[in-house]
Amino acid sequence: LCGGVCFVDYRISEMMPGTLGMVFKSVFLLLAFFLISVTIYSFALTARYENTIGATLKNALLLTVDKLPYTILNDSAEQFGAVVLSWWNTGILMLTIPVWILAGTGILAFINSCILRRVFRVFDEKAEGGDEERTDMEE
């Protein structure tokens, strides 16, 4: 629903003349970037941790902002970079179509998981360190 609203607003802003249209298009593209990022983090958080839906969305939004370099790498370089590289010219497109059909989604998922493991490493180290401190206190 949010993506649809963002898309419709972007299309409406394309009809606006001058600088105002450009400003609104930039705002809606930025919102779409954050929406995609929150969605990616939400699925990863749901798969890795047990939490409520609201807390998962809140944590995904916080991760999107807190880990902005990883977010940009994950969204821009991986997702859009692969598509732009494939569409660079017709010859490359013809070579990459079989790769996309056979393994494209799996390759992108693998790259995505490598990036997200680095993001979640901080939380895993804190959880391991917290358990060790508790066992020391109990002894």
What is the Cα–Cα distance from 109 to 128, expressed in whole angstroms?
Answer: 26
Residue range 25-35, pLDDT digits in tens = 888 888 888 88
Non-local (6+) Cβ contacts of 13 within 8 A are: 21, 24, 25, 28
What mean pLDDT, rounded, does the chain reach?
81
Residue range 87-131, pLDDT digits in tens = 777 888 888 888 888 887 788 888 888 888 888 887 777 767 655
Residue range 26-68, pLDDT digits in tens = 888 888 888 888 988 898 889 888 889 999 999 899 888 888 8
Q: What's the pTM?
A: 0.70
